[in-house]
Structures are given as structure tokens and as C-alpha cells.
Amino acid sequence: KGTHTMAFRQPKIEYKTNTQILKMREAGLVLAEALDEAVAAAQIGVTTAHLDEVFAAVLERHGATSNFKGYHDFPANICASVNDEVVHGFPSEYVLKDGDVLKIDGGAIIDGWHADSARTVIVGTADPEDQRLSDITQEAMWRGIAALAEARFVGQIGDAIDDFVSAVPGKPLGILEDYVGHGIGSEMHQAPDVLNYRTGHRGPRIKPGMCLAIEPMLVRGGLETKVLQDDWTVVTVDGARASQWEHSVAVHMGGIWVLTAHDGGVAGLAPFGVTPSPISS
């Protein structure tokens, strides 16, 4: 899930050992596979409830559990948010249509260690403006992750995302401010907040053992959002479409490692001159 109020968070940053990060990597690889299968199943005519089943089957196959189901009574394994729904949508009997902008956000737990990742998939034929929205959101995520590799403070992640999005040529896109990334480890949502925009605050110092979920959410319209009567689904007030991309990333003595990418982030980070380093156990 994208968003989290302060009240749900632990106040202190949890620094992970290499052994703990390796457990998170296991959860991250299961999650990557579950998202692969859910994304592949996201076709015209399929319900979002079906995607939830596909995702859950992969977790079960690997002995992982969902960190979404039951979280503050959330009823499903994934969040499936369509078009103007930004985050926290419920999988339902909604039938996917040509051109839908679907965000699938999921998580997995192995031996108590969490991973959290989200992707945007455009069903059928993409409106070019929606494709651009998703592409720029995905690049914003990778730029945020690349910034983490070099940065001294958590605030530099949001600076990098904001600087990139603000400078994209063509129609401007908005960075949602109501929902942000977070620390992750023995809980899905931990300190610190990882903002997706420039604030002038440098935030906590980046240290080995820090694991962060970096998850920019961009919109084609205004930044105002509201929560629907189901108390979960977040939509844009003006009905503009939204995109979300998310990875969980570890900082360790040898560098950074993208826990929820099959290749550890090698391909995604290459354009920015960053080479992720796995932990050797």
C-alpha cells in the first residue's frame, strides 16, 4: 500500500543485519514473481478479484504470506486501483476494460520479513498520455532509487524525484503528496517517511541496514485526493488518472540492492550509472 499515517509507524528506524536483508530478499523475489503473474493475467475481460487469486497462489506456492490481507482489516492480498483510483483499491468483480490504467500493489512476508512493490499496467491499448504517465512514474521511481545509492540523507530521494518530474518536457504531471514511501523490515510500514517531493528538509541520515519502499505516485491532473466510502480506495478529486510504481530497496555495507526486482535493480539503475550490489551470505 502506498500510504500510511504516522500513527501506524514505529518511531525508530530499524537497521537490518545482512541476514535479515537476505530474508527480505527472499520475500522480494516471491513478490516479484507474484506481480509478474498478476500483471500477465491483467487482460481485458478479467476481474481484479481474479488477479488477487493469481497473486495469492504464487505466495502460497512459496510459503509466503500476504502483509496486506488483514492489515487494518484490508480484505485482499493486493490493492487493485483502476484509472482515477490512486491506491488502496479493493480487488472486486470489476471487469478490466481496454485502456484501463491498473495499479497492482502487493506485499509478501517470509519468516516475518516484509517486501512491498507496485506496478502500473495498462490493459489492452494504451492512451499515449497514460503510457507517458506510467513511464515517467516508473522512471521517477528508478531515479529515486539511484539517488538513494549516492545520497547522505533520505530527503535527497524526494529531491531527485521532484527535480526529474518537474523538468519533464510536455504536459506537466503532478506528484501526489498525501501518500509517501516508508521504511520496511519486520513490519510493512516503518519509519522513516520517504517523501516523493522536495521539502527543504534533509530527513534522516542514510546508513547501512536501512530498507526503504520508494513509491512515487503521479497524476495527470490536480493533486487533491479523497477516500471513498469504503474507507480505503483513494481517488483523485478531479478524476484524473494516476500511476504508482514501487520497489523495496536495501542499503548495506556494499551499496544498495533492489529487493523486489529479479535482477536486484541492475537494468533499472544502469541508465543512471548505478550498479546494485547483492549481499553475499
Q: Determine the interface stretch with Mg ion among 16-24, 39-47, 164-172, 205-213 (rule: CB under 5 A).
A: 205-213
| Paired residues of 46 in beta bridges | none
**Which of positions 8-67 make contact with Mg ion (CB under 5 A)?**
none
C-beta of 24: minimal distance to Mg ion in Å?
13
In SS3 terms, 135-183 reads as: HHHHHHHHHHHHHHHHCCECHHHHHHHHHHHHHCCCCCCEECCCCCEEE
What span, in angstroms and rounded, lies between the C-alpha atoms of 226 and 89? Answer: 12
**Which of positions 111-170 make contact with Mg ion (CB under 5 A)?**
116, 118
Between 85 and 116, whose beta carbon lies closer to Mg ion?
116
Between 103 and 252, whose beta carbon lies closer to Mg ion?
103
Q: How many residues bind Mg ion (CB under 5 A)?
A: 5
C-beta of 280: minimal distance to Mg ion in Å?
27
Between 156 and 244, whose beta carbon lies closer to Mg ion?
244
Between 128 and 231, whose beta carbon lies closer to Mg ion?
231
Instruction: Answer whether 132's CB lies under 8 Å from 100's CB.
Output: no
Main-chain phi, psi angles of 136, to 5 degrees:
-70, -35
C-beta of 154: minimal distance to Mg ion in Å?
15
C-beta of 210: minimal distance to Mg ion in Å?
15
Between 26 and 105, whose beta carbon lies closer to Mg ion?
105
C-beta of 169: minimal distance to Mg ion in Å?
29
Between 143 and 182, whose beta carbon lies closer to Mg ion?
182
Torsion-angle region of 71 (φ positive above 0: left; ψ -120 to 50: alpha; else: beta): beta
C-beta of 125: minimal distance to Mg ion in Å?
27
Q: Determine the interface stretch with Mg ion among 45-53, 198-206, 241-249, 265-273 (rule: CB under 5 A).
A: 241-249
Distances (CA, A) of 198 to 156, 246, 251, 275: 8, 18, 21, 25
**Which of positions 93-122 make contact with Mg ion (CB under 5 A)?**
105, 116, 118
**Which of positions 210-229 make contact with Mg ion (CB under 5 A)?**
213
Between 54 and 141, whose beta carbon lies closer to Mg ion?
141
Q: Determine the interface stretch with Mg ion among 8-16, 95-103, 218-226, 239-247 (rule: CB under 5 A).
A: 239-247
Kindly state whether residue 193 participates in binding Mg ion, applying the rule CB under 5 A. no
Between 36 and 127, whose beta carbon lies closer to Mg ion?
36
Interacting residues toward Mg ion by CB under 5 A:
105, 116, 118, 213, 246
